[in-house]
Amino acid sequence: MRALTLTALLCLVAAGAAQSHDLYLGHILYRDVPLYTINEYKYGFPLIVRTSIIEYPEAGIKNFAYITAIVVKDHYTDGNGGFPAVVAGGVGQRFAKIKLKSQRSHGFNFTVTIFGRY
């Protein structure tokens, strides 16, 4: 019984330690194309929370495609990555505003890909 409890506890600790903060919204279908891709990286500073705002489309550019999916991939898999959030627009709209926020004293490394259909 102790071995089973110890094994279960170790599995929970390992699962919690190997955590990334990915964000998947919508569905990617066969007619969808990547509309926008960006790699966003910021270093961490002691006691500082780093943020970044990703806007699609960029200022002055028209977008005629509807967004069908947003994929934000966190490249930190140790649980120290940042937190993505869609703050405006998104799936079903023609624009998106995504906020990337790091944990205190850490940086972040994200790849943001927006898929859509014309």
- What distance in Å separates the CA atoms of residue 57 and residue 78, rounded to the nearest whole number? 31
The pLDDT score that the predictor gives to residue 17 is 52
Q: Is this model's pTM higher than 0.75 or not?
A: yes
Predicted confidence (pLDDT) at residue 11 exceeds the cutoff of 50: no
**Which residues make Cβ contacts (< 8 Å) with residue 102, sequence separation at least 6?**
42, 44, 49, 50, 51, 81, 82, 83, 108
> What's the mean per-residue pLDDT of the chain?
87
The pLDDT score that the predictor gives to residue 13 is 46
The pLDDT score that the predictor gives to residue 12 is 45
Predicted confidence (pLDDT) at residue 14 exceeds the cutoff of 50: no
- The percent of the chain in helix, strand and coil, each rounded to the nearest 5, is 15, 45, 40
